[in-house]
Structure 1
Amino acid sequence: MFEKVVMITLFTFILVFGISGNATITIAYLTNKKLRKHFVVTISLALFGTFGSMFYCLSLYYYVIGEDMTGFLCNLNGFALSTLSVGTIHLLALLSFERYLATVHPFSLRRCTIQHKLLAVALTILCTLMTTYPPLIGWSQYVIIDKEGGYCTFDYVSKDLNSRTYLLMLFMSAYVIPAVIIIVCYINIYRTAVLLPCTNVRSTSTDQTPQSRSRLFEQRDRMFQGNLTRIVLVAVLTFMVSWTPYAILAVVWQFVANEIPSRKYILTSVCFAKLSVVWNPIIYGLNDRQFRFTDSMVRLRSMSERSEKRSEEHHNTPVDRRTKL
C-alpha cells in the first residue's frame, strides 16, 4: 500500500509540475524574439516535456483504480513515455553539440539560421521515433513490468532473441551513443575554455576605441555562452543520473542476472527515471537569469492585460440613471 501511495504521489507531481514547468519555459522563450532564435533546441526540449508529461495521467488513473493497462492504451503509454525519454536524451546530445559549436567554433554557429536548427531538431526527433517505434510493429513489445500495472515500458524481461536484440539497439542508440557525443563535446569545451586567454572587462571600460568595444562585446558573448554551457551541463548530468540506474537494471536483468530483481530496486530506478522530465524547469528556473527575467515580464504583461480588460469592462458597464421629479 505504501509503494502504491508513493507512485501515485510521484505521477501526480510529474503530471502537474512536468506540464506547468515545461510549458512555462516554452512560453517564456517563445514570447521573446531574441531568445526564440537562440533557444530552438531548448524550446523543443520543453515542448517534449510538456506533451510527454500529459501521458502520465494514464499511469495515474490505472494506479488509482488498481487495474492493468492493456492493449492499445498500453502500447500508447509505452510508446509515448519511451519517446519522451529517448527524445530528451537525443535533444540533450544535440544541445551539447550546439554548446560545442558555440564555444569551439562560434562563427559556425552564428551562420546557423533558425531553419538549420529546426532541421536538426526534426532529424533528431525522427531518429527518436525510429528507436521507439519498432515494438509497435513486432520487434519486442511494450509490456507491464510492475505488478501494479500503472505503466508500460519496453520488454526487458523476456529472454528471447527478439527482445534482446531490441534492448541492445535501444541501449546503444538511447544511452551509449548520446553519452559519447555529450562527453566528447564537453571535453572539447573544457579544453577550449582552458586555452582561452583571460581578458579583463574592467580595463576596457575606459577605453572607447572600436577595438576595445569589439573585445568587450566578445567577452560578454563568451560569458553568455559559458553560462548557457554550464546550464546545459547540469541538465545533462541530472538526466544521466536519472536514467543510469534504469539502463543498468534493464541490461543486467537481461544479460547477467538469472533472478528477478527486488521490486524495491525496480521502483527506485523507475522513480529516478520518471523524475527526469521535471529537472529542466528547476535547472533553468534556478540558473538562467534571462529565463527568470523573461518569465517575470510575461507574467507582468499578462497581469497588465487582465487589469486593462477589467478596467474597460468597468467603464463600458451601463449606468442606471434615475431622474428625480
Structure 2
Amino acid sequence: MRVNRPEEFPDDFWIPIPLDTNNITAFSPYLVPQDHLGTPFIFYSMSAFMFVLWVAGTAINVLTIACTVKYKKLRSHLNYILVNLAVANLLVSSVGSFTCFVCFAFRYMYLGPIGCKIEGFTAAIGGMVSLWSLAVIAFERWLVVCKPLGNFAFRSSHALACCALTWVCALSAAVPPLVGWSRYIPEGMQCSCAPDWYTTGNKFNNETFVMYLFCFCFAVPFSTIIFCYSQLLFMLKSAVKAQAESASTQKAEKEVTKMVVIMVFGFLVCWLPYVSFALWIINNRGQPFDLRLATIPSCFSKASTVYNPVIYILLNKQFRSCLRKMVGMSGGDEEESSTSQSATEVSKVGPA
C-alpha cells in the first residue's frame, strides 16, 4: 500500500504543537495513531458513539424517506421539506458518521487526505442543507399561520423550490474549501475533518471563509427561525385573547410553544458549539487551547442526524402513525399533527 507522506501533501493537515519538520511524520494524522491526544479508551469510546449515530441516524432517516414514498397522504408541502431534512441527515450519518466510526477505531485519519476531504465535504453539505431546511420549515409555518401575504397559499411547488435552494446554499458553503477558499483538514482528535478554523495569514484566507460561514450559514437561518417562531407565538397569544373561553385554543398555545422551544433549543445545541468554537479560534490567534475540545462541537452536529428527526418528524402524529403502520405496529388514523391542528385554529382568528 502506498504511503502518503506529508511532503506530498503540505497543505492537508495542521499540527498544533511545535515540531521538528524532519520528524513531522511521527505526528501526521494520516500515518500514525494520534495517541498523544488521548488514550485508546477515549478513541474507542468515540468510535462506539459514532457507530450508534451511524446506525440510528441511517435507520431513522431511511424509514422517514421510505414512509413518505409509501404513503401518498404524507406528500404535502411541509412533509417535502421534512424529507429534504431527512436526506441531508442521511448523507451525514451514512458517510460522515461512518467515516468517523472507522477512523476513531484506528485512532487516526485512516482514509487519508482524500477520505478527509470526502468526509468534510459530506458533513458540511449535509449539515448546511439540514440547517437551511430548519429555517425553511420556520418560514413555511410563518406564512401558513400568520398569513403575512394574505391568502397566499404555500404549495408543493414552493416547497420543492425551497428544497432546491437549501442545496444551492449548502454547496456555496461546502465547495469553496475544495477549490482553495479555506480547506478541509483533520480536526479535534484528528479523526474527523472540517474547514480550517486554525491557521491564519496564508493563501487559504480562512478568516474570511469563517466569517462567511457565520454570517450567511448561521446568522441568516438562525435569525429566520427566531423571527418566524416569535411571530407564530405572538399570533397564538392573540388567538388566546380572542377566544379566552376556548380550552382548545389554550391547549394549542401550549403545544406549539413547547414545539417552538424544542425546535430552537435543538438548533442551538446542534450549531452554537461549532460556531462559538470557530469564532473563538479566529479571534484568539496564538492562544493555547486543548485541541481535543474541537471534537465536541463535531459530535453535537453529527448527533443532530438523530434528534432532528425526533423533533421534526416523530413528534408529527401523521408521520408517527404511518411509521408505526409500516413497521407492523397498530398506528391509528391520525391525520393531523398537533402543530397543524394548532395552525388551523390560529388561522381562524388571524388576519385575513
Which range, TM-score by smaller chain?
Answer: 0.7 to 0.9
Q: Does 1:59 align with 2:59?
A: no
Q: CA RMSD in A?
A: 2.8
Task: Determine if contact 1:142/1:153 at 8 Å carries over to the other structure.
Answer: yes
Task: Determine if contact 1:22/1:281 at 8 Å carries over to the other structure.
Answer: yes
Task: Determine if contact 1:231/1:288 at 8 Å carries over to the other structure.
Answer: no
Report the Cα offset of residue 276 of structure 1. Answer: 1.4
Report the Cα offset of residue 122 of structure 1. Answer: 0.3
What is the match of residue 67 of structure 2? Answer: 28
Distance 1:285 1:136, change over 3 A: closer
What is the match of residue 151 of structure 1? Answer: 192
TM-score, scaled to structure 1: 0.78
What is the SS of the residue equivalent to 1:143? Answer: strand
Which has the higher mean CA deviation after the structures are superposed, 178-187 or 190-199? 190-199
Distance 1:288 1:188, change over 3 A: same
What is the match of residue 243 of structure 2? Answer: 198
Distance 1:239 1:59, change over 3 A: same
Give 2:130's aligned amino acid: T
2:52 counterpart (10, 13, 21): 13
Equivalent-residue separation in structure 1 for 2:144 and 2:255 (angstroms): 12
Q: Does 1:133 align with 2:178?
A: no
What is the SS of the residue equivalent to 2:73? Answer: helix
What is the match of residue 268 of structure 2? Answer: 240
Equivalent-residue separation in structure 1 for 2:153 and 2:282 (angstroms): 46
Distance 1:127 1:156, change over 3 A: same
Distance 1:84 1:66, change over 3 A: same
What is the SS of the residue equivalent to 1:144? Answer: strand
Report the Cα offset of residue 52 of structure 1. Answer: 2.2
Task: Determine if contact 1:141/1:155 at 8 Å carries over to the other structure.
Answer: yes
Equivalent-residue separation in structure 2 for 1:177 and 1:292 (angstroms): 31
Give 2:201's aligned amino acid: D
Equivalent-residue separation in structure 1 for 2:185 and 2:131 (angstroms): 22
Distance 1:79 1:285, change over 3 A: closer
Between the aligned residues of both structures, percent identity stands at: 25
Task: Determine if contact 1:284/1:291 at 8 Å carries over to the other structure.
Answer: no
What is the match of residue 139 of structure 2? Answer: 97
Unaligned runs of 5+ in 1: 203-215, 303-325
Task: Determine if contact 1:29/1:35 at 8 Å carries over to the other structure.
Answer: yes
Larger Rg: 1
Give 1:92's aligned amino acid: L
What is the match of residue 111 of structure 1? Answer: 153
Give 2:94's aligned amino acid: M
Larger helix share, 1 or 2? 1
Q: Structure 1 stretches (4+) deviating beyond 4 angstroms?
A: 106-110, 199-202, 225-230
Equivalent-residue separation in structure 1 for 2:113 and 2:292 (angstroms): 26
Q: Does 1:163 align with 2:191?
A: no
What is the match of residue 295 of structure 2? Answer: 267
Unaligned runs of 5+ in 2: 1-39, 331-352
Task: Determine if contact 1:100/1:186 at 8 Å carries over to the other structure.
Answer: yes
Equivalent-residue separation in structure 1 for 2:313 and 2:153 (angstroms): 29
What is the SS of the residue equivalent to 1:152? Answer: strand
Report the Cα offset of residue 288 of structure 1. Answer: 2.5
What is the match of residue 186 of structure 1? Answer: 229
Distance 1:114 1:232, change over 3 A: farther
Give 1:52's aligned amino acid: V
Task: Determine if contact 2:116/2:193 at 8 Å carries over to the other structure.
Answer: yes
Equivalent-residue separation in structure 2 for 1:268 and 1:52 (angstroms): 16
Distance 1:132 1:7, change over 3 A: same
Which has the higher mean CA deviation after the structures are superposed, 181-190 or 255-264? 255-264
Report the Cα offset of residue 54 of structure 1. Answer: 0.8
What is the SS of the residue equivalent to 1:186? Answer: helix
Q: Does 1:50 align with 2:90?
A: yes
What is the match of residue 25 of structure 2? Answer: none
